[in-house]
Amino acid sequence: MKNSSFNRRLLLLWIPPLTFLALFYFFPLGSILGISFARSESGLTGPFMEALASPTLRNVLWFTLWQAALSTLLTLLVGLPGAYLLARYEFRGKSLLLALTSIPFVMPTLVVAAAFNALLGPRGWVNLALMDWFNLSQPPVQFINTFTAILVAHIFYNLTIVLRMVGDFWSHIDPRMGQAAITLGASPVKSLRYITLPLLTPAITAAAVLIFIFDFTSFGVILVLGGPRFATLEVEIYYQTISLFNLPLASALAVIQLTCTLALTVFYTRISERLARPLNLRPRQFTQHRLISWRSRLLAGAVIVPMVILQTIPLVALAARSFTRLDPERGQASPVSPGLTLAYYRELSINRRESLFYVPPTQAIATSLGYAGATVVLALALGLPVAWALSRGNGAALNRIFDPILMLPLGTSAVTLGLGFIVALNRPPLNLRSSLLLIPLAHTLVALPFVVRSLTPAIRSIRPRLRHAAATLNATPGQVIRYIDLPLVARAVLVAATFAFTISLGEFGATALIARPEYPTIPIMIYRFISQPGAMNYGQALALSTILMVITAGGMLAIERFRIAEIGEF
Amino acid sequence: MSGLRLVNLHKSFGQTLAVRGVSFEVNQREIVALLGPSGCGKSTILAIIAGLEAPDQGEVLWEAQSLASTPPHQRNFGLMFQDFALFPHMNVADNIAFGLRMNRRETAEIDQRVQATLDLVGLPGFEKRDVNTLSGGEQQRVALARSLAPSPRLLMLDEPLGSLDRNLRERLVVELGQILRRTKQTAIYVTHDQEEAFALADRIVVMNRGQVEQVDTPQAIYRRPATIFVARFLGLGNLVPGEIRNSEGSRFVSTPIGNYPVESTLEGKVTVLIRPEAVTLDGEGNCQLEGRMVSCSFRGSTCRAVLDVQGFELSFDLHTNAEIPTTGEIICLGFDSREALQIFGTTLDGDK
């Protein structure tokens, strides 16, 4: 009896988010897929046969898979030493290090692309310096439009997932496990191989699956840094939709992509249940040492310095570049000389071409902030009940079924979803095409998994016993909420809110399709500047990117100040 | 036969001096207990012996050879942790076989050894069990089997019964001693419980604040604690200040509770320990000590009486075959001062 009423209450909690997903995820997605396949001349299976028969598309699928696999593997290899350091040592500046390394994660792809361009592009700092020192006429470093660029950008993006998910788990593993192995005659390498790594497997698998999903659905990085030679499924969907308008084929590809990520999510949920071992997790003060010996300090330096360079230098290069005027490109006459300048920032507020679509930057910033604020409210309103359900009904069947569904939007083509919004939400009963709510709704879909994952552990940490204890100390139910629940959850809510905020600020794929031209967000503005030629447009793109970077970085540093900064438990 | 020798070990962590000049020896086939309150440096010494920590100063020798350049996994010293540190991703047999596999033993030999150690610790047939489903006592036995399986030349046990409840502890301490002696295992047993140390050890090293206070057999330590700290730690808390005086050729100690003849060679201010078991409820007028009965807790053949003697609360074990005085009654105790008193050359406030 108790069980069934418990399940009924869980179901009640799931109803709002599921309704939301039904209306704003399944309905648009179903509509666009339905329309697309209806247009297919070869029936429902035709586009799939076409996709799988075409050698080009088979190559795209193959490339998508193995670039994601390779990127994931490299990210793990680069991240694990850092995770070890963060897990086993306590040192000054650690939270700053965590904050710095997590800034890339929330950076919009366009900003990241612009940043790598500013550092390693043909007219980036490195090439300019090398050309200057060695008197070269051609940029010596070829980075943009290479496969290396894709891999480096993927590592740049996802490193923080390894640092946090694996590092946090690692910091709670009893170091005496490894010591026990060593006193039983295992060399340090064998102890790592037979004890530490197996114990870390759940965390490493979780991180790897998440990173793989991000790399598998990678869009902006491939488009802007990889160049025309490389295409993932997501990029191909974009081409087929926007350039070739082959909707049936694009939809078939979107279904293939979704199936792959869904399969991965289900596989992950299964494997994580099997991998879960009752570990005797230890509080950090028992597992962490200070960096005392010179050897450990040297080791820490060797891990931290390259990591910080990788994670910050591109962004620094971007900011520096946005304040710098360079020599005019060849063939382009210009009266100005190289040096520091605020011209790009000033130019943002001038409508030189008297364009109808001109939007002053302050308005784009205001639009972005408004959308982000609405996303925060929506995502929290939907995420809190879900997190509550997940933390209460541990292992309940309902949770096991619904939890992976939440993850689906992460693996769905943003382009397809954007198109779905356009075709499905422009007629009754849901006529939202001109509503300003449309974009926050789309952003909430992407932010929801992050919000839920940040809230669940915090809510789970409120043990019923704490409430009972408060009640026996004469606290009224209201006082219990005020003095027990709220303080324990408040920081997690803040972290979740910041995630929703930064995700909304940076989202580009879906926004590009559904944003109204008179209300562009910052990423849309950046894209407009990038796609127009000339040093001034490029400079303005850099200036806007820098502004966006400062806003997101500010948000991320705010999370770190509140210290609960886990990406949560994926 | 000489086994382990520690020479003047020092180790500090930042500002904290964890170990300050510790030296002692463990002979082969001997069980030595390292006894002291928590935070006295016991576990750090184990970590140094195992090679998990390097000493700032001093040396660890095995059969007169320095181990400074021997990495921990080549020392062949076993270490059993307080909460066992069983590998949760392996079953019982794999846990026990781990050390043997690291030594690249033959599969058949490993299987046979796993069975033999499981028999030894009283868990035959537990090979395939998941370690996460074991009870506390079973986990303790598996941990012991795991550390015994590779036949370490020295086994260190770090509070191996510390996480178990009292009943289980009393039973297992006897069993543990039997197993260690049957396998002729050289062992260092770390504990903060003097009863465990008394029950198991051939010799005891008492430690306080990173230093060795006394090394001796259990009986000798109990009979003649070397310092006030050791006396207190063993539960001998009847300590009063005193002064040695000479009077007409004989020496006595003058204390607030009375003057007693002594044979001590000490001079000046001292501390006097009155052993709680060496007194009798006196009826024959041989009144050495007079006090008011505060409480008496019955313990079967004896009762632990707390007396207020001139403002000092002193405890004594009184035999219950005589009539037990009631609370508030003034009673008189007799003792032979050579047997019942021990004099320390330090004062109480120095606590050393």
Q: Does B197 touch chain A (CB under 8 A)?
A: no
What is the architecture of the domain spanning A30-318?
Orthogonal Bundle (1.10)
DSSP lists the bridge partners of residue B304 as B297, B317
Contact flag B85-A194 (C-beta cutoff 8 Å): no
Which pLDDT belongs to residue A87? 85
For A507, the token pair is: 């989202």
All CATH 1.10.3720.10 domain ranges in chain A, comma separated:
30-318, 341-570
Region A2-21: what's the mean pLDDT?
76
Which residues in A lie closer than 8 A to residue B131 (C-beta atoms)? Answer: none
For B199, the token pair is: 């029950």
Which pLDDT belongs to residue A255? 86
Q: Which of B77, B88, B98 sits opposite A279 (nearest CB)?
A: B88
For B265, the token pair is: 């060679």
Contact flag A198-B89 (C-beta cutoff 8 Å): yes
Q: Which of B14, B47, B79 sits opposite A292 (nearest CB)?
A: B14
Q: Does B68 touch chain A (CB under 8 A)?
A: no
Which pLDDT belongs to residue B221? 94
Q: Which of A172, A222, A170, A165 is nearest to A196 (CA)?
A: A170
pLDDT band at A285 (very low <50, low <70, confident <90, very high): low
Which residues in B lie closer than 8 A to residue A176 (C-beta atoms)? Answer: 81, 83, 85
Better-predicted residue by pLDDT, A49 or A336 = A49
Which pLDDT belongs to residue B211? 94
Q: Which of B169, B164, B123 is nearest to B142 (CA)?
A: B123
pLDDT digit string (tens) for A71-81? 999 999 999 99
Inter-chain Cβ pairs, chain A and chain B, closer than 8 A = 79
pLDDT, averaged across chain A: 80
Which residues in A lie closer than 8 A to residue B13 (C-beta atoms)? Answer: 292
CB A188 within 8 A of CB A126: no
Taking CA atoms, B73 is separated from A175, A308, A417, B50, in Å, by: 15, 34, 57, 9
Q: How far is B42 from chain A (nearest CA, A)?
A: 16
The winner for highest mean pLDDT among A71-80, A542-551, A559-568 is: A71-80
pLDDT band at A276 (very low <50, low <70, confident <90, very high): low
Q: Per mean pLDDT, which range of A1-5, A198-202, B123-127 is the poorest? A: A1-5
pLDDT digit string (tens) for A427-469? 766 676 677 788 899 999 988 888 887 787 777 766 666 777 7
Which pLDDT belongs to residue A225? 85
Q: Which of A177, A183, A190 sits opposite B77 (nearest CB)?
A: A183
Region A181-199: what's the mean pLDDT?
90
Residue A262 has pLDDT above 70, yes or no: yes
Say how far apart CA B205 and CA B192 lie, in whole Å.
11
Secondary structure of residue B145 in the 3-state scheme: helix
Which residues in A lie closer than 8 A to residue B91 (C-beta atoms)? Answer: none
Q: Does A177 touch chain B (CB under 8 A)?
A: yes
DSSP lists the bridge partners of residue A533 as none
Which residues in B lie closer than 8 A to residue A190 (C-beta atoms)? Answer: 73, 102
Say how far apart CA A162 and CA A183 lie, in whole Å.
29
Q: B183-194 burial, b if ≥16 CB within 10 A, otherwise e?
A: eebbbbbbbbeb
Which residues in B lie closer than 8 A to residue A278 (C-beta atoms)? Answer: 88, 132
Residue A424 has pLDDT above 90, yes or no: no
Q: How far is A289 from chain B (nearest CA, A)?
A: 10
Q: Taking a contact as any Cβ pair under 8 Å apart, which residues of chain B between 92 and 111 contact chain A?
A: 98-99, 102-103
What is the architecture of the domain spanning A341-570?
Orthogonal Bundle (1.10)
Contact flag A183-B83 (C-beta cutoff 8 Å): no
Say how far apart CA B315 and CA B238 lie, in whole Å.
7
Which residues, 6 or more positions from B214, have their beta carbon under 8 angstroms from its beta carbon? Answer: B204, B205, B206, B221, B225, B226, B227, B230
Parallel, antiparallel, or unpaired: how do β-strands B31-35 and B203-208 relate? parallel
Q: Which residue of B has its CA nearest to A291?
A: B14
Q: Which of A120, A118, A140 is nearest to A130 (CA)?
A: A140
pLDDT band at A275 (very low <50, low <70, confident <90, very high): low
Contact flag A184-B81 (C-beta cutoff 8 Å): no
Q: Does B71 touch chain A (CB under 8 A)?
A: yes
For B155, the token pair is: 């086994």
- The pTM of this model reads 0.77
Region A24-37: what's the mean pLDDT?
86
What is the architecture of the domain spanning B2-226?
3-Layer(aba) Sandwich (3.40)
Which pLDDT belongs to residue A429? 67
Query: For chain B, which ranges sit under pLDDT 70?
Result: 1, 283-285, 350-352
Residue A94 has pLDDT above 60, yes or no: yes
Residue A93 has pLDDT above 70, yes or no: yes
Region A406-417: what's the mean pLDDT?
81
Q: Which of A176, A184, A280 sits opposite B99 (nearest CB)?
A: A184
Which pLDDT belongs to residue A237? 87
Parallel, antiparallel, or unpaired: how do β-strands B312-319 and B302-309 relate? antiparallel
All CATH 3.40.50.300 domain ranges in chain B, comma separated:
2-226
Q: How far is A92 from chain B (nearest CA, A)?
A: 15
pLDDT band at A284 (very low <50, low <70, confident <90, very high): low
Sheet holding B65-66, edge to edge: B16-27, B2-13, B57-62, B65-66
Q: Does B28 touch chain A (CB under 8 A)?
A: no
Which pLDDT belongs to residue B149? 92
